[in-house]
Amino acid sequence: MKEYNYEWTTAKAIIANRDTKRQFRGWGDYDTLNKIADNPTEQECEAAHKLWLNLKAAFNKEAKHYDPETNTSRLGSIGEKSEREVMRSMWWDKLDGDKYGDYDKMTQIIEALHGGEKIETGTILFGS
């Protein structure tokens, strides 16, 4: 099975590929986004993409002042600036995730599509 390589960069692409088989990093036997996130609707995919864009912006902004020694991240970041793991409950609260939709569904979509992705200021990883 082809490995997912962060190629679905728009809500439209995510929606179009919900049933496309890929090997998603960290998701074991699951092979489609529909299986991972229990058949997300178009609206849920769009909301998850908006939330991801906000998380990505916050992650990049945080990097300007991030110090792994101080442990003061509002996103729950741990690790080096170039590769940080963000704590799900902390970034969800910081970004007011409830206004986007269901916690489990939104985080499953985002983590499947973006876990381990190298973005502008480093690689983003997800922790519980």
**72 versus 111: which is more confidently predicted?**
111
Residue type (1 letter), 7: E
Task: Give the C-alpha separation, 47 to 58, whole Å.
Answer: 17
46 to 10, 70, 80: CA distances (angstroms) = 9, 35, 31
| Percent of the chain predicted with pLDDT > 90 | 89
How many CB atoms within 10 Å of residue 122? 20
Work out the pLDDT band at 106, boundaries 50, 70, 90. Answer: very high
Flag whether pLDDT at 54 surpasses 80.
yes
pLDDT at 28: 84
Asked if 79 contacts 68 with a C-beta cutoff of 8 angstroms, the reply is yes
Task: Tell me what the mean pLDDT of segment 50-76 comes to.
Answer: 94
